[in-house]
Amino acid sequence: MTDDCIFCSIVAGDIPSRTVYESEDVLAFLDANPLAPGHTLVIPKTHHERLNDLGDGLAGEVLGTLNALVPVVENAADAPASTVAFNNGPEAGQEVPHVHGHIVPRFEDDGGGPIHAVAGARPDLSEEELDDIAERIRNGN
- Residues interacting with ligand AMP, by CB under 6 A? 6, 15, 17, 31-33, 41, 87, 93-96
Residue 47's binding partner out of ligand AMP, Zn ion, none, with CB under 5 to 8 Å set by partner kind? Zn ion
Comparison of 16 and 37: residue with beta carbon closer to Zn ion = 16
83's contact among ligand AMP, Zn ion, none, with CB below 5 to 8 A by partner kind, is: none
The 10 Å Cβ neighbour count of residue 34 is: 14
Give whichever of 14 and 78 is closer to Zn ion, judged by the CB atom.
Answer: 14
98 is catalytic: no
Phi, psi of 123 (to 5 degrees): -75, 150
What is the footprint of Zn ion within residues 18-77 (CB under 5 A)?
Answer: 47
Alpha-carbon gap, residue 95 to 131, rounded angstroms: 33
Considering CB distances under 5 to 8 angstroms, the limit depending on partner class, which of ligand AMP, Zn ion, none binds residue 99?
A: none
Write the DSSP string, 13-47: TSS---EEEE-SSEEEEE-SS-SSTT-EEEEESS-
User: Shortest approach of Zn ion to residue 33 CB, angstroms?
Assistant: 18
- Of residues 98, 100, 102, 116, which has the active-site annotation? 100
Closest separation in Å from C-beta 132 to Zn ion = 36
Q: Return the one option of Zn ion, ligand AMP, none that residue 56 interacts with (CB less than 5 to 8 A, by type).
A: none
CB of 121 to ligand AMP, least distance (A): 22
Give 41: exposed, middle or buried? Use CB within 10 Å, 0-12, 13-18, 19+.
Answer: buried
Let me know if 47 is exposed, middle or buried by CB neighbors in 10 A (0-12, 13-18, 19+): middle
Catalytic residues: 100
